[in-house]
Amino acid sequence: MDARNALVASQVVEGRIDRIEVFALACEVPKGPVSTLALMPVRNGLLVRITMDSGLTGWGEAWCNYPPKGNLAKLALFDGPIGESLLGAQVGDWTTLRSRLEREWARMIVHTGEPGPFNHCLSAIDMAAADLAAKAANVPLARLLSADPSGDVAVYASSPRVEDPDSLAQRLIELGHTGVKLKVGFDAAGDKRLLERFRAGDPAGMLLGIDANQNWTRQEAAEVINLLSAHDLAFVEEPIFALDPLKDWVQVASGSPVPIAAGENITSARQFADMVGQGGLGVVQPDVAKWGGISGAMEVGREALDQGAQVMLHYMGTALGLAASLHVMAALKCDGRVELDANPNPLRTDLGDMELRPTAGRLPVPDGAGLGFEPDPEALRRFCVAETTVTRN
């Protein structure tokens, strides 16, 4: 059996789900991320540990950045319909589990009117299933996803606070970064001054992306992007409302001198394909904890690369999902980057053992079996604000 066939054979997880543990995590931070959407004074997490009847365990994470208690609502879904449905179920081929569950739960998702929370929970389940499969094969997840993954991955510092933009680039360089994303969309003149001051203190010419968090109209986006494009921008993330018609995204992208980026609010492989193929999206940003999990990010990432777009994985959660993102990017083996939150978040820095300081803008991919990262039990207890266990015993 050659290496590729060995990888395919290892996709199957034997046995049935015996136990599901869900941990809602939270910690207050003095200076959380600032954007036009909302302040984030509380950093949340929702981690899921699935145990098979063989004793094998897999970890996953569901997106719950906002609102401050959104993780509790998703914990309740696991304590109710999701846990009841999963308990005793077979994982089988992990790459098909999410799509099977999407079909099985379709009526419930429509009935409850909660596609977002269900998508986030499905992402956690998909991630845990991938972790299980890689552990069963005794290989790092990236090796399960690709016969020849990268050993390290490029990252960019995401959304640092900009009280002193003149010295920001130098501070980031000293921390090992070679790229950054800044929040904009507050007012055009202020955004222009921010980028001018940042670039004036950036002799190295860092990769620079900006994120408007959907805050411009189509006309505003065209005007402001042209105004800011003089500052050598790598991408403009979500310049307009995520649910605006595709034709509006087409117009923005076709008139922009800077690649347009989106993905954290795209919720199907079909939408991703349309945004790239028809909408002119130049940078694709799937989030492994928000929609699609590992399987979805790999699918849309490969499709985007085939279509000539770039992949920059979106991520702003705990260390667990960050580890998963690094494995996906390592398997895609492209010149994209993983978003690395540059704000205080103990759920990223204090949850367990993982290298988080870049060297020349790159982080090593965890090399243990599966995700190569598991939360430290003491840290898990310290940050846990609620938990539930669903078991057959």
What distance lies between CA 250 and its chain's CA centroid?
24
Would the pLDDT of 9 be above 60?
Answer: no
- Report in angstroms the alpha-carbon separations of 282 from 23, 55, 147, 249, 329: 36, 43, 27, 11, 17
Q: Which of 265-277 are b and which e, b meaning 16 or more Cβ less than 10 Å from the residue's Cβ?
A: bbbebebbbebbe
> What is residue 44's predicted lDDT score, i.e. its pLDDT?
96
Q: How confident is the model at residue 4 (pLDDT cuts 50, 70, 90)?
A: very low
pLDDT of res. 2: 35
pLDDT in tens, 331-348: 999 999 999 999 999 999
* Residue 186 dihedral angles phi and psi, to the nearest 5°: -80, -60
CA distances from 182 to 147, 210, 237, 337, 385 (A): 35, 5, 10, 15, 31
The DSSP symbol for 211 reads E
* C-alpha to C-alpha distance for 294 and 298, rounded to whole angstroms: 6
- Residue 34 pLDDT grade (very low, low, confident, very high; cuts 50, 70, 90): confident
> Per-residue confidence at 10, pLDDT binned at 50, 70, 90?
low
pLDDT tens profile 124-161: 999 999 999 999 999 999 999 999 999 999 999 999 99
pLDDT (average), residues 215-225: 97
Average pLDDT over residues 287-301: 98
Instruction: Please state the rounded mean pLDDT for residues 309-325.
Output: 98
pLDDT band at 6 (very low <50, low <70, confident <90, very high): very low
The residue behind tokens 């719950």 is 64
Q: pTM for the whole thing? A: 0.96
Model confidence at 33, pLDDT cuts 50, 70, 90, reads confident
pLDDT above 80 (res 7): no
